[in-house]
A and B are shown apart, each in its own frame.
Chain A
Amino acid sequence: DQQVKQNSPSLSVQEGRISILNCDYTNSMFDYFLWYKKYPAEGPTFLISISSIKDKNEDGRFTVFLNKSAKHLSLHIVPSQPGDSAVYFCAANIQGAQKLVFGQGTRLTINP
């Protein structure tokens, strides 16, 4: 039972354009969501998070949007840079549980 889904295994975007990564979840108990970036053979790097009491959180080039009614979140990266090429994971948590449930990841490639 995949509670967190990233339906696009890969995404290719031109440098300078906007990258939009999507994530859907099924468990309505999830109330905290995170995005991580991962390079091969390294641990995930935390990017940005959002609580279910918000619908948007912004940090520099990264913005996360949460649509609770649709159980959908997205990560926007603008402008996209070559260094953004990596695998991006969304993760969901239940408050106080510290038990992240990850999606399968989306490989983002930024083309010069």
Chain B
Amino acid sequence: GAVVSQHPSWVICKSGTSVKIECRSLDFQATTMFWYRQFPKQSLMLMATSNEGSKATYEQGVEKDKFLINHASLTLSTLTVTSAHPEDSSFYICSARDPTAVSYNEQFFGPGTRLTVL
């Protein structure tokens, strides 16, 4: 149980275009999802907390208009990188909490999406 998927697993786009990444909880309903960014050989950086039916909570320094997060249903959150630039190239990872689980604070991670902006 507690499987999280991401789509696409990798994407290459041109500078100036927008890219949407999907995060799905496959076998549970996730009221809260998290979006992280990971640079090579570095730790995860939390970008935002996505709450179903409400606005996402962004971490300090993360541009809300640049990284649009939508959590329209209990099993889907999307991250849209708008007007992408080469510096946005990174590994984006989502995670989700299962509020019904005994270990409800545990986060289950998706496999990540590799974004390359040319």
**A complexed with B:** no
Query: What is the interface of chain B, defined by CB distance below 8 A to chain A?
Result: none
